[in-house]
Every structure is written in C-alpha cells, then in structure tokens.
Structure 1
C-alpha cells in the first residue's frame, strides 16, 4: 500500500475546479502539491487562476500547471476554445485539458471531435501537452467510448481522460479498460487520466493494476498516466505518514 501511495502521489493532478474556488484556494493548492513525500505531477485549475499559480510556482517548477478549456459543457465554438487555450498558455499553463464536443459526438457528428482536438493540438506546441476529456459517463455506450478514444488519439491528443468530474458518472474501471485498450491498439505514446471518483489509494491501485495488465508493468509514469482528483491526496498522505485518513471531499 505504501508503494502504491508513493506512486499515486507522483501521478496526481491535484484538482480544484469547484465553483467557489478563489485566489486563496489556489495558494493553498500550490502548497498542498508540494508534500514532505514529494510533489504531485500537476495542479489542475480554472483558466482564470493560471497566471496566479505560475507566479507562485515560478517557471520550470516540478509541479506542472494544467487547466481546462471548453469546460465542462463541451459546447463552445472552436474559435472560442482556441482563444481560451492561447490565453491559458500565455498565462503559463503547461497542460491543457480539453472537453471534446461530446453532445455533438453522441448526435453522430464524429467530425466535431476531430476538428476540435486537431485545432487545439495545433496551438499546444511542445512542451505543452493536450489531454482530451471524453466525458465517458455521458457517452455510456462502450462502442462510443472506444470511438471517441480512437478519434481523439488520431487527432493528436497526448492523453485521453475519462471525465470532467461534473456529471453523475465519472471515472470507472470499465471505461478505463476501453480507453487503455484503445491506447494499446493505436501504438502511439498516448497517456490516460481517470478523473472524478478516485478518492483512495485502494482506488488508485485498481487503476494502476488495470493499466499494467493492458500496457505493461512499467507503463504508468507521469508522462503516460495521471489521476484527476481532489480528495485522493489526503488518503495518500495518510498512508505515507501512517495516520488515519481525513474525510475526502464529495466532489471530484
């Protein structure tokens, strides 16, 4: 359990996408991401706080700054999403988590996914990485989850991510299995991020075991695997510190 906790810490995108997030919460999040046991991979925050977080963490920090675009609805026009993305990168974002137009996709418009992902990828020049959020809990159908995964990968996504954390069903092992198999079939160096509902080290261990069974024991690293979570850090620290876990927050 200790080894799983240590590994999960290094793979964690410590997230605050709450509606009432403020500057004080961002300052706290940046501090929490730097623990006595090591740092999280990233923080994941609203675009309006990216400049503040960059000011706190400074350039080239071990903790990356991820932000969200077309979030959470997935309904914005490509031009608006590009404007969001460019501003976030200018403000200092290292990673862009893009919600695909999943409602259009469900309605049969596969090209909407390809157009959105490829356009945003074009402005995410290295070292900025692009994670695409499929909103698998809304897609529901395994065939749709697989098709969305394939489309995002083909269009240039660096990661495929399950969820916004803003709908009733977020990350599940079933969706994860479909997405990890899509990554394997693609043969591309694409990462995977389960988000929403991963709250304990035990939960994290289940996803890591699944990834290992499909893509190999050493596959999951910060370059290929992230957990999107707010409550997971508390359980990780309790395991690493040998203390009772605090109650995890209900969201994300």
Structure 2
C-alpha cells in the first residue's frame, strides 16, 4: 500500500465512497445533484447515503439497475428511538428502494451499561434487512470515547448481525478517528467474520483516506478493502478525489461530514 500513487489511492477511494448528504436543509434538488455527482468521468461511487424521505426519489433517478447503491439512515442521529419505530422506518426505507441501512445503536444506553438495548436494536433491524440489503451499524465512537467500550460495541454489533460497523453519524463533536478505526478493524479480525468497516465524518482528502486504507491493509491485508468490506462516509471527499484524478493535486475541503 505504501507504494500506491496518489492517483491510484484516489481511484480506490472513489470506488469505496458513500457520497453523503445528511444536511438538515437537504432537499429534492440536492438529491438530484448528489445522484449526478455519484457518476464521474473516472467511475462511480459505491453508494449515496441520504435521509429516508429521499430514498424513493433517488431510486427513481438512479433506476433499478444502477451499480450505485442507495444507503439511508435509521434511528439517526440520536440513537434513541423505540425499536418498533426503527423497524418500521427500516421497512419503509427498503420498500422505497434502499439497498443499505445505516443504523445508529442506542449508544447512550450502552454508555449507561445496557448492552441488551444494543443487541435488541441490531437484531430487530437485522431481521427486516433480508439479503442483499446490507446493515451498517453506527457506533458513534466519539461519544463512546473509551477504548474498551468501542471494542465492546463493535463485538455486540457484529454478534447481532451487522454487515458493517461504522464509526459515526457525523453529527457529534468527534467523528471518525484512526484510534477508533484501529479498535474496530481489530474487532472485526477478532470476530473471524466477514464484516466491513466504514469511517464517517472528517475524511475530507485523499491523504485522509490513505491513512484509513493503510491501517486496514496493516490489519487485514492489502487486498481486503473492497466495496463489500470498506466504505468511506463523506460529502467533501469526492471533490478532493476528482482534483487528484484530474491532475490538479490534493486540496482541502470545508465539508462538515
């Protein structure tokens, strides 16, 4: 991985990107633009990640045969909704055309010592995410903070049926960090299961992306990070990817997610 050129790294990051708009003022025009941006002269992103209310629109725009998957969020961002409400939200999103569900665990309950609340939530949502729908479980690691708690949350999510574990909502003060990524990637390795990893929030440049990909390669091997095992959740990363692929060099982004 160390010998990978910036352009190669950018192309890889593009193929792993969940291009995201979870802004509070997102509207139909923004979703139309996002779907357009997901297809670039250099290839397409892995997915778009949007609010549930826009899934039906995105499915109509992308069509049924698009290689770009539609991810949406449930129990988001607070992690505090009742299980039945989250299950209903998930069912509706899938009916509207979602391919992937990004579920926030009840992390505040976990901080208070309630592991059962996490198990119950993930198992219940898993039950309505029939393959090929993917379940990506958001731990909100910046709020969990403690290494042991992040590791425990990772194992709880994996044991309860997560296809991916994801760092963050992008809606709190601390989002993806390399420290949290290291804990989560090692938890995946310890589990012995085929579970993916998604850092989200704060990954804004190809250089940022490279740090996470190099970490994943160290723990899981150089060929592990593919769209079925690794995603980036970001809104601003695409601009930097395209700058590198266009030969304009790596810039910076002011994106909040």
Which range is displaced more, 87-96 or 240-249?
A: 240-249
TM-score, structure 1 length as denominator?
0.99
- Are 1:11 and 2:3 counterparts? no
What residue in structure 1 maps to residue 210 of structure 2?
205
**Residues 168 and 175 in structure 2, CA contact (< 8 A), matched pair in contact too:** yes
What residue in structure 2 maps to residue 223 of structure 1?
228
Q: For 1:93-108, list aligned pairs within 5 A.
A: 93-108=98-113
**Residues 14 and 44 in structure 2, CA contact (< 8 A), matched pair in contact too:** yes
Distance 1:150 1:67 in 2: 23
What residue in structure 2 maps to residue 91 of structure 1?
96
Q: Kindly tell me: are residues 247 and 203 of structure 1, through their superposed partners in 2, closer, same or farther at Cα, counting changes over 3 Å? A: closer
Q: Secondary structure at the match of 1:199?
A: coil
**Residues 154 and 184 in structure 2, CA contact (< 8 A), matched pair in contact too:** yes
Write the deviation string for residues 44-84 of structure 1: whole angstroms up to 9, x where unpaired: 00000000000000012111000000000000000000000
What residue in structure 1 maps to residue 175 of structure 2?
170
- Are 1:31 and 2:23 counterparts? no
The alpha-carbon deviation at position 34 of structure 1 amounts to: 0.2
Q: Secondary structure at the match of 2:242?
A: helix
What residue in structure 2 maps to residue 50 of structure 1?
55
**Residues 70 and 76 in structure 1, CA contact (< 8 A), matched pair in contact too:** yes
Distance 1:10 1:250 in 2: 20
Distance 2:237 2:25 in 1: 20
Which range is displaced more, 241-250 or 87-96?
A: 241-250
Write the deviation string for residues 157-215 of structure 1: whole angstroms up to 9, x where unpaired: 00000000000000000000000000000000000000000000000000000000001
The alpha-carbon deviation at position 6 of structure 1 amounts to: 0.2
Q: For 1:87-166, list aligned pairs within 5 A.
A: 87-166=92-171
Q: For 1:39-78, list aligned pairs within 5 A.
A: 39-78=44-83
Distance 2:251 2:85 in 1: 40
TM-score, structure 2 length as denominator?
0.97
Distance 1:60 1:249 in 2: 33
Which runs of 5 or more structure 1 residues have no equivalent in the other structure? none
Q: Secondary structure at the match of 1:160?
A: strand
**Residues 205 and 251 in structure 2, CA contact (< 8 A), matched pair in contact too:** no
Q: Kindly tell me: are residues 53 and 10 of structure 1, through their superposed partners in 2, closer, same or farther at Cα, counting changes over 3 Å? A: same
The alpha-carbon deviation at position 247 of structure 1 amounts to: 5.1
The alpha-carbon deviation at position 246 of structure 1 amounts to: 6.1
Q: For 1:177-188, list aligned pairs within 5 A.
A: 177-188=182-193
Counting matched residue pairs gives 252
What residue in structure 1 maps to residue 3 of structure 2?
none
